[in-house]
Chain A
Amino acid sequence: MKLYDSFRSALQSLVVNKLRSALTMLGVIIGVAAVIAMVSVGNGASASVQATILNLGSNLVTVQPQFGNDQGLKGAGAQAQNLTLDDMRSIQNQLGGSITAAEAEQQTGRWQVTAAGQNWNTQVTGVTEDYPTVRDWKLDSGEFFTTSDLNVNAQVAILGTTTAQNLFGDADAVGQTIQLRQLFGGGRDQRARILNFRVVGVLTTKGSTFGFSRDDQIVVPLTTAQHVLTGRLNVVNAIVIKATSSDTMDATTSDVQNILLQRHNISDPASADFTVTNQNDTLAALSSVTGTFTLLLGAIGGISLLVGGIGIMNIMLVSVNERTREIGIRKAVGARRGDILTQFLIEAMALTGLGGVLGILLGWAITEVVHRIPQAANLPLLITSGTVIIAVGVSVAIGVVFGLYPALRAARLHPIQALRYE
C-alpha cells in the first residue's frame, strides 16, 4: 500500500467524523498552545532579566570590599573599607590594553538638592572619568568630567534625566548651578551644610533596573565625593572593570584578583578582603533560575499535551472498534497487517500533527493577547523556532505513541472475526 493511499484514507475518515476529529484535536491544540504560550512567557521573562543585567553595562567585572577571614567580622552590617582609588588606578595601569576601561565608585547617600527654586531628593555617587565607557552610558548634553576635575576635587555634577527634569524642567541644565544640602545636628541646633555644584552634563535615559530608576541620580567626581561630601578619603565601594569581550571576562577576573591580592599583601585567595564578581556568573545564575521557571511552565503545558494524547488514544480505540468491519473488508481484499497499522497510525498522526499546527497558532495568539496586558507589555514574548519544532515534533510523536496501541489492535484483528463483527 502506498503512503499516498494511507494519507488519503486517513484524511477521509477524519473528514467523515468532523466533530469528533475536531474535539479530539482540541486536546492536542490546547496542549501545544499551552506549551508554546508558557515557554514563550518563560523565555520572555528570562530575556527581560538578561536585558536588565546588561543595562548596567556589558562584560563587567566588579570588585567589592569584604572583610577578610582574619578580621573576624564577617557579614556584620558594617561596610568594609579596604578598596581604594589607587587599587583601581593600578588595575588600569597594569592591565592597560587588555581591558576596555575601569572605574571606581563611592556611594554618598541621598542628598537634598535645590536649583532654580526647585527641590529634589536624590542619590549622589562619586565616580571616575571612565564611568560612561564602563556603563555604556552616553551623555545627552554637556561633557563628562575628566581626570583634571578629579585631581582638583572639582564641584561639578552630571545629572540623570529624571533629576534634571525635576530640577530644571525642560530648560537646559548644563551650566546651571545646583546646591546639595546636608542637615546635621538635631532639634533647635540643626544646621545645614550647603555645597554648590556646577552641572556639566546630563545622562541619556536608561530606564530602571529591578524597579529602581537609574535616571534619578547625580554623579560627581570620586575625589570630590570623598573629600567634600563624605570625608571617607580614598575609600571606594566598588571598582568596575569592563572587559574587552564576554570571552576575556574570566581572564580579566583572575588578573584583577591577582593584582589586588598582591597589592593587599594577601597570599591565600580564600582570605581576600574583597570579592570579584563576573557578570557572566550573575547571568548564568539568573538564567538557571529563569530556566527552571521556563521548564516548570513547559511541564505544565506538557501535562495538558499528555492529556490530549490520552484523548487521541481513546478516540482511536473507539474508531478501531467502530470500524472493525472495515478492517475485515480491507483484510479480505488483501490488506496486510502493516497496511492497517500504517492507516491508523497516520490517522492518529494527522490528528496530532494538525492539532499541533493549530495549537501553535493558538499559542501565538495567546502570547499576542498577553502582550496587550499592560503589566506584561514590556515583557518580550519569544516564540522561537525551537519551541515550534519541539511542539510539533512532540505532538506527532504523541500521535505515534498513543496511536500505536489502537493501530496494533486493528492490525491484529482476524479477518473472519472482523467481517462477522456487527
Chain B
Amino acid sequence: MNQSVVQLRGITKTYHIGREITVDALRGVDLDVNAAEFLAIMGPSGSGKSTLMNILGCLDVADAGTYVLAGENVGKLSDDKLAAIRNKHVGFVFQTFNLLSRLNAIENVELPLIYGGDRHQRRERALGALEQVGLGDRVHHRPSELSGGQQQRVAIARALLNDPSMILADEPTGNLDSRSSAEILSVFQRLNETGKTVVMVTHEPDVAAHCKRIVRMRDGIVARDELVPHPRRAEDEIAAGIGAAE
C-alpha cells in the first residue's frame, strides 16, 4: 500500500559562487515520500528547500547520495535521460505559472505530450485534464485572458497530463490572492484524494497546514519531519468565504 515514490539518501549539493565562495546547499538529506502523500517542504530562505526541490524534480543532479524515483535510480543520468524522466514522472507547478503566452490553454496543457506520448490522444487527454481542474470552458483562452488562479489551474492540468508519479509545486500560491490560493489548494487536495502524490514547497504555514505532512529544512538538512493531525480543508474555507492564507 505504502508504495515508495521518492527515496533520498545522503543527498549533498554544493554551489560555487565565483572562485572562492562555496555554499553547501544540501548536507546529507534523507527523505522518503510514499504514494498518495501530500507533503509540504518548509524552511527559511537559504535552508536548501529550492535546491531539494530542483533535485526532486530532476532539474538538477546531486553531488553525492542516491535518489530513487518511482523505482528508478536517477542519480547520475544524462541531461536527455533526465528530460525523459521529468516528462514521465514529474509534473511541475511553478509560483509564476510559467505558461507559454502565445499558446492557448489547451496548447499549453498539451506541451508534455509533444515531448513524449501518443499524438492521437493528445487533444482528448488535455481536455480531460482541463476539465479535472474546472477549466473545461476556458480551453481556447490565452494565459493573458485568464486570472492568476485560472492560469495556475492550467499549469496544474499541464502537470497532470502525463499521469506523473509526483506533482511538484514550488510556492504555487505565492503569486495568488487568498481566495485563488484556497482554490488551488482545494484542487491539490482533490487530486491527492484520488491518489496523486503532491510535494509542495512553501514558506507559508497557513498553506502548509493543508498538507498531511510537513518537512522542515534548516541549513541543508531535514530539521523536522512531522505529520499534520488535522489538515485544513480548502473547500470548507472557500464555502465559509475565508481565504486559505488568512
Q: Interface code A319-337, partner B: CB below 8 Å = 1, 0 otherwise? A: 0000001101111111111
B242 at the interface (CB under 8 A from A): no
A405 to B176, CA, bound (A): 39
A192 interfacial contact with B, CB 8 Å: no
- Say whether B87 contacts A415, CB under 8 Å: no
By DSSP majority rule, is chain A's interface helix, strand, loop, or mixed?
helix
With A16-B102, A419-B94 as contacts: A334 and B115 at CB distance below 8 Å = yes
B86 near A330: Cβ-Cβ < 8 Å = no
Q: Which residue of A lies closest to B119 (CB)?
A: A2
On whether the beta carbons of A329 and B98 are closer than 8 Å, the reply is yes
Across the interface, name the chain B residue whose C-beta is closest to A12: B102
Say if the beta carbon of B137 comes within 8 Å of chain A. no
B100 on the interface (CB 8 Å rule)? yes
The reply to whether B100 and A334 form a contact with Cβ atoms under 8 Å apart is no
**Is A334 within 8 A of B116, CB to CB?**
yes
Chain A residues, Cβ within 8 Å of B119: 2, 4
A1 contacts chain B at the CB level, 8 A cutoff: yes
Q: List 4 A-B pairs, minimum CB-CB distance, nearest first.
A: A334-B87, A334-B115, A333-B112, A336-B80
Q: Does A13 contact B (CB under 8 A)?
A: yes
Q: Which of A326, A331, A336 has the most CB of B within 10 A?
A: A336
Nearest chain B residue, comparing its CB with the CB of A17: B102
B79 is contacted by which of A1, A326, A337, A416 (Cβ under 8 Å)? A337
Contact pick for B88, options A4, A16, A334, CB 8 Å: A334
Which of A5, A12, A325, A334 is B83 in contact with, Cβ under 8 Å? A334
By the criterion CB–CB under 8 Å, are B115 and A1 in contact?
Answer: yes
Beta-carbon contacts under 8 Å, A297-336 to B: 325-326, 328-336
Q: In the bound complex, what is the Cα–Cα distance between A334 and B79 (angstroms)?
A: 10
- List residues of A whose CB falls within 8 A of some B CB: 1-2, 4-5, 12-13, 16, 325-326, 328-339, 415-416, 419
For the complex, what is the distance from the CA of A330 to the CA of B112, rounded to whole Å?
8
Residues of A within 8 A of B86 (CB): 331-334
Q: How far is the CB of B117 from chain A (nearest CB, A)?
A: 9
B111: Cβ under 8 A from any A Cβ: yes
| Cα–Cα distance between A5 and B111 once the two chains are bound (Å) | 10
Extra inter-chain contacts (19) besides given A334-B162, A415-B59, CB under 8 Å:
A2-B114, A5-B114, A325-B98, A329-B100, A329-B111, A331-B86, A332-B57, A332-B59, A332-B92, A333-B158, A334-B115, A335-B83, A336-B84, A336-B115, A337-B79, A416-B54, A416-B59, A416-B60, A419-B94
Residues of B188-216 whose CB lies within 8 A of A = none
Residues of A within 8 A of B88 (CB): 334
Inter-chain contact B59/A338, CB cutoff 8 Å: no
Q: How far is the CA of A416 from the CA of B25 in the complex (A)?
A: 15
CA distance A330 to B84 in the complex (A): 12
A2 to B98, CA, bound (A): 23
* Cβ-defined contact, A339 with B115, below 8 A: yes
Find the residue from B92, B94, B100 having the highest chain A CB count within 10 A: B100
10 pairs of residues in contact across A and B, judged by CB atoms under 8 Å: A1-B114, A1-B115, A4-B119, A332-B59, A332-B92, A333-B92, A333-B111, A334-B115, A336-B115, A415-B59
Q: Which residues of B contact A2 (CB under 8 A)?
A: 114, 119
- List of A residues within 8 angstroms of B114 by Cβ: 1-2, 5
The residues of B that contact A12 with a CB separation of less than 8 Å are 102-103
Whether the Cβ atoms of A419 and B84 lie closer than 8 Å is no
Q: Which residue of B lies closest to A329 (CB)?
A: B98
| Minimal beta-carbon separation of B33 from chain A (angstroms) | 19
B112 touches A419 (CB 8 A): no
From known contacts A1-B114, A330-B115, A416-B54, infer whether A337 and B80 are also in contact, taking CB-CB under 8 Å. Answer: yes
Which of chain A's residues have a CB closer than 8 A to the CB of B115?
A: 1, 330, 333-336, 339
CB distance from B142 to the nearest CB of A (A): 11
Q: Which chain B positions have C-beta within 8 A of A326?
A: 100
Task: Kindly list chain B residues whose C-beta atoms are within 8 Å of the C-beta of A333.
Answer: 86-87, 92, 111-112, 115, 158
- Contacting pair B83 A13 (CB below 8 A): no
Q: Which residues of B contact A335 (CB under 8 A)?
A: 83, 115
Residue numbers in A under 8 Å from B111 (CB-CB) = 329-330, 333
Contact partners of B87 in chain A: CB under 8 A: 333-334
CA–CA, A336 to B80, complex, Å?
A: 5
- Residues of chain A within 8 A of B158, CB atoms compared: 333
Of chain B, the residue at the smallest CB distance from A339 is: B115
B91 to A, closest residue via Cβ: A333
- Give Cα A12 to B94, complex, Å: 24
* Docked pose: A1 CA to B112 CA in angstroms: 10
Residues in A with CB closer than 8 Å to B84 are 334, 336
